[in-house]
Amino acid sequence: MNRLTFNTERCKGCGLCVTVCPKQILELDVHQLNSKGYHPARITDQEKCIACAMCATMCPDCVIKVEKDV
């Protein structure tokens, strides 16, 4: 299974990753705040991730790690 992880402490909650996800499986977590007071991004359905890395490419703070199945 492809795996997408976020460094939530570094995320500024800009939402750029959310807008570029072709599967629409990313969102800002309105129930969580990081230590800087931002709502970090999160994945809603890991199994639907195709590991295209569009989110990681768009992220200005490099908080997203994409691991693709081989």
- Structural domains of the chain in order of their starting residue, each with its CATH number: 3-67 (3.30.70.20)
Beta bridge partners of 3: 67
What's the token pair of residue 42? 């999160």
Chain-centroid distance of CA 65 in Å reads: 8
pLDDT (0 to 100) of residue 69: 84
Q: What is the pLDDT of residues 8-45, one digit of tens each?
A: 999 999 999 999 999 999 999 999 999 999 999 999 99
Determine if the pTM surpasses 0.85: yes
pLDDT (0 to 100) of residue 46: 95
Residue 66 three-state SS: strand
* Residue 70 clears pLDDT 90, i.e. is over it: no
What's the token pair of residue 36? 């800087």
Asked if 49 and 2 count as a contact pair (C-beta separation under 8 A), the reply is yes
Q: Which residues contact 19 (CB under 8 A, 6 or more apart)?
A: 58
